[in-house]
């Protein structure tokens, strides 16, 4: 029997200085170092941009916070003539319209994704998927124009009167649906936002649903599970990180949307108990007034609104990260 031995010294082939392979090795090492440098510079560049945005917002909002203090956050009055400004009404409108949009868009988006991946016939999947992607590519100003001239009149004539008559007299929630049917308002803005973010939720959720290994679903069906049980106990737990990521992406779009909301919310700097009444958001207030802000305090107050929107978005993303970490930890512990 022949014994085979391995000598590292003999296996290591020395590349002589004149060998062409030495130049090739140098090029590979140089390209690798250049690649690392470019990726590092790109990452640092992103951080510098973020830092610059934060510094600009803080610097521009200092006069407003020095003048009004922390009460700027819970003051409703917004009077450019008297130079009295408060951020409560825009903050309220931003949060309420985003909540309405999520309440409408998330169930419908998940339903579309489940239908496309589990129930839809094969010949319909591609046309429906393309239609969803086309909805995501429509500019926001088109949604705003359509909402103002088509959707808002439809709500005013056919939907809001029914809502007022049926829900306006309910003891606990009636105050949410009180008042005349204007058509435009917080509810209309929430519906428009829901239509705008729906393609993001449906498209991302469909993509993550398709990553579920078929063997998991086939095993569940083989054990006698229904389609609902497969989706609820197999698909959603497996893809929860991607689903939450898609919802957070849609929520970020809803919080910062400007033009479409400006068209349909009514742009009233006040807080109304009824979601049928006009209101405003942070983005809409900035878009409407920034060009016409002649006083320094007016400009600083608008920049302060931008800083508040930045903080709200950061807080939402941070909560999403904590939620995902908690879910992963719980899954690992189980």
Buried b (16+ CB within 10 A) or exposed e, 269-291: bbbbebbbbbbbbbbbbbbebee
The predicted pLDDT at position 334 comes to 45
Question: pTM for the whole thing?
Answer: 0.84
251-299 pLDDT, tens digit per residue, is: 888 888 888 899 999 888 888 888 999 999 999 999 888 888 888 899 9
Q: Does residue 113 sit within a domain?
A: yes
Per-residue confidence band for 19, with pLDDT thresholds at 50, 70 and 90: low
Percent of the chain at pLDDT above 70?
92
The predicted pLDDT at position 242 comes to 83
CATH of the domain at 117: 1.10.3720.10
* Helix (DSSP H) and strand (DSSP E) numbers for the chain: 15, 0
The predicted pLDDT at position 11 comes to 46
Give CA–CA dist 198/136, Å, rounded. 8
Per-residue confidence band for 4, with pLDDT thresholds at 50, 70 and 90: low
Give CA–CA dist 319/334, Å, rounded. 22
The predicted pLDDT at position 332 comes to 58
Q: Does residue 327 sit within a domain?
A: yes
Higher pLDDT, 96 or 293: 96
Contact between residue 267 and residue 288 where contact means Cβ atoms under 8 Å apart: yes
Give CA–CA dist 312/210, Å, rounded. 32
In this predicted structure, the answer to whether residue 239 has a pLDDT above a threshold of 60 is yes
- Dihedral, CA of residue 211, residue 213, residue 214 and residue 220, to nearest 10: -120
Structural domain harbouring 168:
68-333
Under 8 Å CB-to-CB from 117, ≥6 apart: which residues? 206, 209, 210, 235
Give CA–CA dist 100/108, Å, rounded. 13
The predicted pLDDT at position 106 comes to 93
In this predicted structure, the answer to whether residue 24 has a pLDDT above a threshold of 80 is no
User: What domain count does the chain have?
Assistant: 1
99-145 pLDDT, tens digit per residue, is: 999 999 999 999 999 999 888 888 888 888 888 888 888 888 899 99
Q: How many CB atoms lie within 10 A of CB 307?
A: 22
The predicted pLDDT at position 255 comes to 87
Q: Does residue 2 sit within a domain?
A: no
Per-residue confidence band for 94, with pLDDT thresholds at 50, 70 and 90: very high
In this predicted structure, the answer to whether residue 95 has a pLDDT above a threshold of 50 is yes
177-187 pLDDT, tens digit per residue, is: 888 888 899 99
Mean pLDDT of 195-222: 90
Give CA–CA dist 164/152, Å, rounded. 16
Q: Does residue 130 sit within a domain?
A: yes
Q: Does residue 32 sit within a domain?
A: no
In this predicted structure, the answer to whether residue 15 has a pLDDT above a threshold of 60 is no
Q: Does residue 50 sit within a domain?
A: no
Mean pLDDT of 92-97: 93
Contact between residue 125 and residue 116 where contact means Cβ atoms under 8 Å apart: yes
Mean pLDDT rounded to a whole number for the chain: 86
Q: Does residue 146 sit within a domain?
A: yes
The predicted pLDDT at position 20 comes to 66
Under 8 Å CB-to-CB from 99, ≥6 apart: which residues? 190
In this predicted structure, the answer to whether residue 86 has a pLDDT above a threshold of 80 is yes
Q: Which two tokens stand for residue 70?
A: 């922390």
Q: Does residue 162 sit within a domain?
A: yes
The predicted pLDDT at position 14 comes to 53
In this predicted structure, the answer to whether residue 18 has a pLDDT above a threshold of 70 is no
């Amino acid at each position: 029997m022949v014994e085979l031995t391995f000598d590292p010294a003999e296996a290591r082939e020395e590349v002589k200085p004149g060998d062409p392979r030495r130049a090739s090795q140098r090029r590979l090492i140089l390209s690798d170092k250049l690649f690392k440098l470019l990726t590092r510079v790109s990452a640092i560049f992103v951080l510098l941009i973020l830092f610059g945005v934060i510094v600009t917002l803080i610097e521009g909002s200092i006069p407003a916070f020095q003048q009004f203090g922390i009460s700027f956050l819970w003051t409703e009055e917004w009077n450019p003539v008297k130079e009295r400004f408060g951020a409560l009404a825009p903050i309220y409108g931003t949060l309420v319209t985003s909540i309405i949009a999520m309440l409408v868009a998330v169930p419908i988006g998940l339903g579309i994704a489940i239908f496309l991946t589990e129930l839809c016939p094969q010949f319909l999947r591609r046309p429906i998927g393309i239609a969803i992607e086309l909805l995501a590519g429509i500019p926001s100003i088109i949604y705003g124009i359509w909402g103002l001239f088509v959707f808002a009149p439809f709500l005013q004539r056919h939907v809001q009167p029914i809502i007022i008559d049926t829900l306006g007299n309910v003891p606990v929630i009636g105050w949410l649906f009180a008042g005349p049917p204007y058509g435009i308002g917080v509810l209309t803005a929430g519906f428009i936002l829901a239509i705008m973010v729906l393609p993001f939720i449906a498209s991302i959720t469909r993509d993550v649903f398709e990553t579920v290994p078929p063997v998991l679903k086939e095993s569940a069906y083989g054990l006698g599970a229904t389609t609902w049980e497969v989706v609820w106990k197999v698909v959603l737990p497996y893809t929860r990180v991607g689903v939450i990521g898609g919802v957070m992406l849609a929520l970020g779009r809803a919080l910062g949307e400007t033009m479409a909301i400006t068209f349909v919310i009514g742009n009233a700097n006040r807080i109304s108990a009824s979601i049928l009444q006009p209101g405003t958001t942070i983005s809409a207030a900035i878009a409407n007034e920034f060009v016409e802000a002649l006083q320094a305090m007016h400009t600083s107050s608008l920049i302060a609104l931008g800083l508040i929107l930045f903080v709200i978005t950061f807080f939402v993303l941070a909560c999403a990260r904590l939620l995902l970490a908690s879910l992963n930890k719980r899954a690992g512990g189980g």
